């Protein structure tokens, strides 16, 4: 089918070519989704153990990690794609067939999976799959809202209690942090809170903004924005930027912007600003890899505890399992994020891991890397000769080998802005033969399996729908 769609594009141009290639794109996406579902089926067949269902990092997580590495996407995005793939091919085979023909988009498929998630009766599910597949034959363009309502109409026909009711404002409360990708060093925060919490938070912002003197050059809005940073760093005062030694906001000494050391910022050079302009400045970056212009970095560094990052050069390994703070600081600043392919967990929230396990592998920069707890468990319990393997080069490059033999290379996150941190360190030598990663260890376990948790969540929402139908009538 896919090859036929590609062949159909031959000789087309303009709008005709655009339509043909859009269908090819949809069909290719369907092949990608089907491959994910097949990968999970194969993993279940190979594991042969129901015990893994209660592992903290189960078969699903292991396959999601492989999907994330293959597509260079985050674990969250990979898990979401895998969930859609499973639901589509287990619950909506006819919709999957329409998708394979390129007649519908992946966005529509995701909506079908999400809006039909509460249908649990097999007969009702088959009926819904048939109705949707039939309707998609002449499906016209719709907005997201109208698409959801149209699918809800079909869900209501087969199972009224499975219609996902509109969430109340309280259930929809959330906080979104969008970090700008334009190199400005700015971010946008959008939040929906309970009114009483919002009032308390607003008062906190005002109180923090009032800790600077009247000569501070920032506007009221800028002060309130900067107060977010003070709250995030757990302080009760803001640094005044008036520049006066006899500042009224200072009782004998300049108040720090941060009471705690600033551990999520990498600065290889911070210059003191001169009146009216900044001196020579280098960019900075957070340990999550986010770029910060030099001017923004200087502002963030006011009053902060600055820790010097020291490249270990050709220094010999440390004779201990846990690296010293000096060495650990270097590893986190060099790596910036988790070193598993596609993972963006900030280095400040990761483990410093031995690539070759201690004591066979030394505690040295060439054998240490940052890895988040999820991928640390993956390496430990899903590693081995035919599973995930890794090797590390002297410049911090890590080469991962997946269970299927494909290699994925990750380089230190600091390499672009701070290449000096990737200068080669001392080549390591191993001692003896490494023992299996799992020797003497046990995988943390879930209280309930993934499937059990999913079933409970569905029944809770269906019960809430049943009560809603009783109170407000049968409509969605």
Over residues 94-141, the pLDDT tens digits come to 999 999 998 889 999 999 999 999 999 999 999 999 999 999 877 777
Helix (H) or strand (E) holding 309: none
Burial 190-217 (b: 16+ CB within 10 A, else e): eeeeeeeeeeeeeeebeebbebbeeebe
Least confident of 73-87, 108-122, 159-173: 159-173
CB 262 within 8 A of CB 243: no
Check residue 270 and give its pLDDT: 35
Q: What percent of the chain has a predicted confidence (pLDDT) above 70? A: 82
Stronger pLDDT, 267 or 145, i.e. the higher one? 145
Which residue is it, tokens 């995030």?
232
User: Mean pLDDT, the chain, as a whole number?
Assistant: 81
Check residue 219 and give its pLDDT: 86
The DSSP output letter for 262 is: -
Residue 387's nearest CA partner among 49, 35, 33, 63 is 63
Of the chain, the end-to-end C-alpha distance in Å amounts to 38
d(CA 415, CA 433): 32
- Please return the burial class of 98, using the count of CB atoms within 10 Å of its CB with bins 0-12, 13-18 and 19+: buried
pLDDT at 207 over 90: no
Stronger pLDDT, 422 or 49, i.e. the higher one? 422
Check residue 228 and give its pLDDT: 84
- Please return the burial class of 145, using the count of CB atoms within 10 Å of its CB with bins 0-12, 13-18 and 19+: exposed
Check residue 179 and give its pLDDT: 76
Over residues 250-280, the pLDDT tens digits come to 543 433 333 333 334 444 443 333 333 444 5
Q: Is the peptide bond before 359 cis (omega within 30 degrees of 0)?
A: yes
Helix axes 14-47, 75-91, angle to 10 degrees: 90
Check residue 49 and give its pLDDT: 61
- Please return the burial class of 160, using the count of CB atoms within 10 Å of its CB with bins 0-12, 13-18 and 19+: middle
d(CA 51, CA 58): 9
Q: What is the dihedral of CA 229, 232, 233, 237, to 10 degrees?
A: 60
Which residue is it, tokens 């108040």?
255
Cα atoms in the Cβ-side hemisphere of radius 13 Å centred on 46? 14
Residue 472's nearest CA partner among 153, 166, 151 is 166
469: confidence class by pLDDT, cuts 50, 70, 90: low
Radius of gyration in angstroms for the set of CA atoms belonging to the chain, rounded to a whole number: 27
d(CA 127, CA 95): 12
pLDDT at 85 over 70: yes
- Please return the burial class of 109, using the count of CB atoms within 10 Å of its CB with bins 0-12, 13-18 and 19+: buried
pLDDT at 155 over 70: yes
Over residues 217-257, the pLDDT tens digits come to 888 888 888 888 888 777 778 888 887 877 876 543 433 33
Check residue 20 and give its pLDDT: 82
Check residue 124 and give its pLDDT: 94
Residue 189's nearest CA partner among 198, 297, 170 is 198
d(CA 6, CA 44): 33
Over residues 393-447, the pLDDT tens digits come to 999 999 999 998 999 999 999 998 889 999 999 998 887 666 655 555 777 888 8
- Please return the burial class of 475, using the count of CB atoms within 10 Å of its CB with bins 0-12, 13-18 and 19+: exposed
Check residue 443 and give its pLDDT: 78
pLDDT at 384 over 80: no
d(CA 6, CA 11): 11
**Tokens for 426?**
């001392």
Helix (H) or strand (E) holding 192: strand 187-192
Q: What is the mean pLDDT of residues 297-313?
A: 79
Cβ atoms within 10 Å of 441's Cβ, excluding its own: 11
CB 100 within 8 A of CB 31: yes
d(CA 230, CA 212): 12
Our measurement of the distance from residue 227's CA atom to the centroid of its chain's CA atoms, rounded to an integer in Å, reads 26
pLDDT at 346 over 50: yes
> 152 by DSSP, 3-state: which?
helix
- Sequence-separated (6 or more) residues with CB below 8 Å from residue 172: 192
């Amino acid at each position: 089918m896919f090859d036929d769609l590609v062949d159909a594009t031959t000789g087309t141009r303009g709008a005709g070519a655009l339509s043909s290639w859009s269908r090819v794109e949809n069909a290719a996406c369907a092949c990608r989704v089907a491959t994910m579902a097949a990968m999970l089926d194969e993993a279940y067949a190979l594991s042969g153990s129901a015990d893994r269902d209660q592992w903290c990092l189960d078969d699903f997580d292991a396959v999601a990690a492989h999907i994330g590495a293959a597509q260079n996407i985050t674990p969250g995005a990979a898990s979401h794609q895998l969930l859609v793939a499973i639901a589509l091919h287990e619950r909506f085979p006819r919709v999957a067939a329409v998708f394979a023909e390129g007649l519908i988009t992946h966005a529509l498929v995701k909506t079908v999976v999400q809006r039909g998630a509460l249908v649990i009766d097999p007969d009702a599910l088959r009926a819904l799959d048939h109705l949707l597949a039939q309707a998609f034959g002449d499906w016209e363009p719709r907005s997201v809202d109208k698409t959801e309502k149209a699918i809800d109409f079909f869900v209501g026909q087969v199972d009224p209690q499975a219609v996902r009711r509109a969430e109340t404002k309280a259930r929809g409360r959330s906080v979104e942090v969008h970090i700008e990708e334009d190199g400005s060093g700015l971010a946008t925060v959008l939040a929906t809170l309970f009114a009483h919490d919002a009032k308390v938070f607003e008062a906190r912002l005002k109180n923090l903004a009032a800790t600077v003197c009247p000569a501070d050059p920032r506007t009221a809005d800028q002060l309130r924005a900067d107060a977010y940073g003070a709250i995030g760093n757990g302080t009760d005062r803001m640094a005044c930027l008036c520049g006066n030694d006899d500042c009224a906001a200072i009782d004998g000494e300049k108040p720090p912007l941060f009471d705690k050391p600033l551990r999520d910022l990498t600065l290889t050079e911070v210059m003191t600003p001169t009146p009216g302009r900044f001196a020579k400045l280098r960019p900075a970056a957070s340990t999550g890899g986010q770029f910060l212009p030099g001017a923004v970095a200087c502002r963030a560094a006011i009053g902060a505890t600055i820790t010097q990052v020291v490249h270990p050069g050709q220094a010999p390994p440390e004779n201990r399992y846990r690296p010293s703070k000096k060495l650990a600081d270097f590893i986190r600043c060099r790596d910036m994020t988790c070193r598993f392919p596609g993972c963006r967990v900030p280095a400040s929230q990761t483990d410093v891991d031995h690539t070759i396990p201690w004591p066979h592998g030394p505690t040295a920069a060439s054998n240490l890397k940052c890895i988040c707890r999820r991928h640390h468990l993956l390496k430990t319990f899903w590693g081995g000769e035919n599973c995930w393997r890794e090797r590390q080069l002297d410049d911090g490059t890590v080469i991962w080998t997946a269970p299927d033999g494909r290699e994925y290379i990750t380089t230190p996150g600091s390499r672009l802005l701070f290449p000096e941190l990737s200068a080669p360190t001392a080549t390591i030598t191993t001692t003896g033969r490494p023992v299996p990663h799992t020797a003497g260890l046990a995988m943390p376990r879930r209280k309930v399996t993934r499937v059990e948790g999913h079933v409970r969540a569905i029944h809770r929402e269906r019960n809430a729908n049943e009560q809603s139908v009783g109170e407000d009538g049968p409509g969605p």
